[in-house]
Chains A and B, each alone.
Chain A
Amino acid sequence: MKSAGVAPALLLPAEVLAQRATGARSAPAIPKLEVTSPDAAGETVHRFFNEARFTALRRLGELFQPKVGNAPGATEAGAPEFLDFLIGASPADRKKLYNNGLDALNAAAQKKYRKNFAATTAEEADAVIRPLLATWDYEPPADPVIRFVSEAHQDLRNATVNSREYAEAGAASASRRRAGNTGLYFNPIP
C-alpha cells in the first residue's frame, strides 16, 4: 500500500536501489525480438460494407487494378478488405460517398443486365463504369457517383501498390521497379 508522503525512490525494488548505489546506470540489454505484421499473420476481416457493396468494391478492384505478371492486383493485395476497414473508420461524408457510389453501380448493373455489379462480365462492367470516368487533379468532380469512382480508383490503386504483397513481389522481381511505396516517416510528436 502506498502511503501519503512516501518519497517515490523508497518504493523502488531493492535491486534497483542497489544498482544505483553501485553507480551502474545502463539499462539491461534486451535481445532484439523479431516480430511480424498483422497482414503477414492474417487477413483483414471485412465488417463495414454489406455483402452487395463489398462484392461490388471487390469487382471494381479486379477491374481497376488487376494482377499483372508477378505484381499482385487489388484482390491479391487485400485492397477491398483494407478499404472496408478504412472507409468504416472514416468521417460520415466519406462513408456516404462510398455506400451511395457502390449502390449506384449495383443499380446501374441491375437496370442494364438484371444482376449486381459483382456478377458483370468485363464488357458489361465497362459499360457501367466508362461514363463515370473523369480526369482530375486537385479535387474529383462534384457529381457524387463520378466522385466516388474517381476516389475509389485512386484508393484501390494506392491500397494495392502500398501493400506488403506488392512490396514483396517487387523485391523479388528482377527490375525491382515495383518495390512498393517507401517514404521518410515522421515519428509521432512527443
Chain B
Amino acid sequence: MAAKEYDVLIIGSGHSGGMAANVLTKKNLSCLMLNAGPVVDLEKDRSVKAAHELPFRGLGEPGRNPHIVIGNEFNANQWVDEREVPYTTETNARYDWVRVRLVGGRSLFWARQCFRLSDYEFKAKDHDGFGDNWPIDLAELTPYYDRVDSIFKVVGRKENLPQFPDGKFIDIQEGPESKATKDITSAAKDRGIAVSRMRFAQGEGGLASSVNLLLPEAAASGFLDIVPNAIVREITVDKNTGKANGAHFVDRHSKREVHVKARAVVLAAGTLESTRLLLNSGIANSSGVMGHYLIDQLYGCKVVASLPEARNGKVKPGMIGGGMFIPRFRNLKKGEKNNFLRGYSLPLGSGGGADPRMFREYGPELQKKLDEYRGSCVQGGLYGEVLPRFENHVRINKEVKDAWGIPVLHIHAKYGENELNMAKDAANTQEELYKAAGFEILYKSDKLFAPGYSIHELGTCRMGDNPKTSVLNKYNQSHDIKNLFVVDGAAFVTGGWQNPTLTISALSMRASEYLAEQMRMKNI
C-alpha cells in the first residue's frame, strides 16, 4: 500500500507544534502530526485522592523522576519516566530535564506566564558585546506577539518600559494593593526599580494549552491527522534532492516501525528532543554548532522576610498580601557597572507563611514558629538570564539507548561566574527592598537551582544570518535543508529572563506562515 504524502509533517504537539498545525491547516495544507505519547482527558484521567491512598503515601516511588523537583506522587505519571527515556550528564554536573510526552506536551502544565523578549535580548551583543544578536528584532516579531496574546488572552498591566514590552492585554480589574506591597514598591522606586504585576495567559478555564487553544481548530479543518504514541527515530532525506521527505517512527506500544512521507518537515518536539532527533538523523549540521549554546534560565535564590506586626495572627485586612513582579532593572544603561552581564527579574509574593525548612527547630517548637509566621511573609526568587556559551552543549550518547532503542542525549551544562554573581545580586537586592519596607529577613539563599530546573531549556539549533555559525535562518528554516523547520525553543540565540512560551509561539506562527507562503510559491 502506497503511503499518503502529506504537505507537512509536524513532530510534536505542544505550543510550537500546535501553532504550526493551526497556521498551516488554515492555508489548506494537509498536515500529519506525530506525538510520542497518548491523548489524555484531563477530566477523566485525573481524580482527587488523599495521599494515603497512593502506593507510596505521597512521598513518591523511589528512584522515579529524580530530576523533577516539582514532581510528586500525584503528578508522577504526567512526566516522562526517566527509566524509559534516560539521559546522561557529566559526573557531578546535575541537569534537571523535565519532559512531557502527552499530546499537548508541556503546554498542558505550564505556569502561563507571558512576557515578550525586548531588544535588550534580541540585540544583546549590540548592547554589551557578548555573544551574538538574533537575526530579528522586537519590531519584526511584534505583530505575531500581538496575535498570540489574543489567542492566549494575556492579562497584564501596561508599563511602557523598553525592557518589558507591553502586549495586547485583555482588561481585568486589579485588586487593591496591600500596605506591604505599596511599601516594597516604594522602596524599589527609591532605588530606580520599577514594580509591575505578573503577566499571564488566561486561556480558557485556566488552561492555555495547544490542546484547547490551537489544535481543536486545526483538527476541525479536516487538514490535520494526529498519530499519538509515535516516537520519531529519524528524519529521512531524499538522497537525490537533499530535501527532507518524511520520518521513521516507532509505535510506542508495539515497537513497530513506520515511515511517513511529507513535502516539508516542521520539528516541534521541545528544544532538546528536537536537537536529539536531528543529531540522531545526522542532518542539517554543516555549521557544526548544532547542540551547542544550550541555555536555560536561572531559578533559585530564595529570600523570605516577615513583617513583625503581622506575626502571631495579627494580620489585618489590607496589611499584607498580593503579588508583585519586578522586570529586569540591571545593565539597562550602556556602561553600567555590575559584576555580571545581562539581568534578571524578581517574582514576589506576600501574605503567605514560612516553610518548615526555614527554621532550625523541630517538634512543638517548629509548629510554634510556623504558627507565629503564618500570613506575615513576603518571598521571592529570581528569573535570570544565562549567557549563551559554546561549551554548554548536548550530544548523542550512543552507549545508552531508550526503551525504543534510540540513542539518548548527553547534556553538558554548567553555570559560570556571571550566573553566580547575578544570583548574589538578586538575593542582596531582595534583602535591601524587604528591609526598607519594614520586613525582617527570615531566610536568605543565593544558591541556584540546577540547570534545567526552570523547564526553559533553549538554544542548541540557534538561528542566525550566517550558515557557518548558526543552524537556522531567521524564519526557523534550516540553512542546509530548505524544507526543514525547527519551531521550538531550540532556535533561541539568547534566552533572556522571560518565560519563553510567548516567544516560541510567536516564532512558530511566523515560521509557519513563511513556510506556507514558500510552498504556495513552489519554492519548497
* B135 interface contact, C-beta 8 A: no
Within 8 A of A (CB), among B30-73: 37-38, 40, 45-54, 56-59, 62-63, 66, 69, 72
Q: Is the CB of B74 within 8 A of A185?
A: yes
Given A180-B52, A182-B51 in contact, is the A133-B361 Cβ separation under 8 Å? yes
Give the CA-CA distance A158 to B54 in the complex, in Å: 13
Query: Which of A1-9, A109-117, A161-169 has 4 or more CB atoms under 8 Å from chain B?
Result: A161-169
Give the CA-CA distance A82 to B58 in the complex, in Å: 12
List of A residues within 8 angstroms of B102 by Cβ: 189
Given A68-B364, A138-B449, A158-B59 in contact, is the A180-B50 Cβ separation under 8 Å? yes
Query: Which of A15-23, A51-59, A86-94 has 4 or more CB atoms under 8 Å from chain B?
Result: A86-94
The chain B residue sitting closest to A83, CB to CB, is B59
Query: Which of B6-14, B235-243, B350-358 has 4 or more CB atoms under 8 Å from chain A?
Result: B350-358
Within 8 A of B (CB), among A65-114: 65-66, 68, 82, 86-87, 89-91, 94
The chain A residue sitting closest to B366, CB to CB, is A64
* B76 interface contact, C-beta 8 A: yes
Q: Is the CB of B58 within 8 A of A183?
A: yes
Most buried by B among A129, A157, A181: A181
Most buried by A among B356, B357, B360: B357
Give the CA-CA distance A91 to B72 in the complex, in Å: 17
Give the CA-CA distance A130 to B361 in the complex, in Å: 8
Q: Is the CB of A186 within 8 A of B364?
A: no
Q: Is the CB of A187 within 8 A of B38?
A: no
* A46 interface contact, C-beta 8 A: no
* A184 interface contact, C-beta 8 A: yes
Report, as a range, how many residues of chain A touch the other chain. Answer: 35 or more
Q: Is the CB of B69 within 8 A of A189?
A: no
Give the CA-CA distance A37 to B56 in the complex, in Å: 13
Q: Is the CB of B46 within 8 A of A185?
A: yes
Give the CA-CA distance A188 to B62 in the complex, in Å: 16
The chain B residue sitting closest to A183, CB to CB, is B74
Q: Is the CB of A64 within 8 A of B51?
A: no
Contact pick for A186, options B45, B363, B445, B449, CB 8 Å: B45
* A121 interface contact, C-beta 8 A: no
Shortest A79–chain B CB gap in Å is 9
* A50 interface contact, C-beta 8 A: no
List of A residues within 8 angstroms of B62 by Cβ: 86-87, 89-91, 94
Most buried by A among B38, B57, B360, B361: B57
Q: Is the CB of B445 within 8 A of A137?
A: yes
* B489 interface contact, C-beta 8 A: no
Q: Is the CB of A188 within 8 A of B77?
A: yes
Enumerate chain A interface residues (CB-CB to B < 8 A).
Answer: 37, 39, 63-66, 68, 82, 86-87, 89-91, 94, 129-130, 133-139, 150, 153-155, 157-159, 162-164, 166-167, 180-190
5 further interface pairs, Cβ-Cβ under 8 Å (given A162-B57, A166-B52, A187-B45):
A37-B53, A164-B52, A180-B52, A183-B51, A186-B74
Listed by A's residue number, 18 A-B pairs whose Cβ atoms lie within 8 Å are: A37-B52, A66-B363, A86-B62, A87-B62, A91-B62, A133-B362, A137-B443, A137-B445, A138-B300, A154-B357, A155-B59, A158-B59, A164-B52, A167-B51, A180-B51, A183-B74, A184-B75, A186-B75
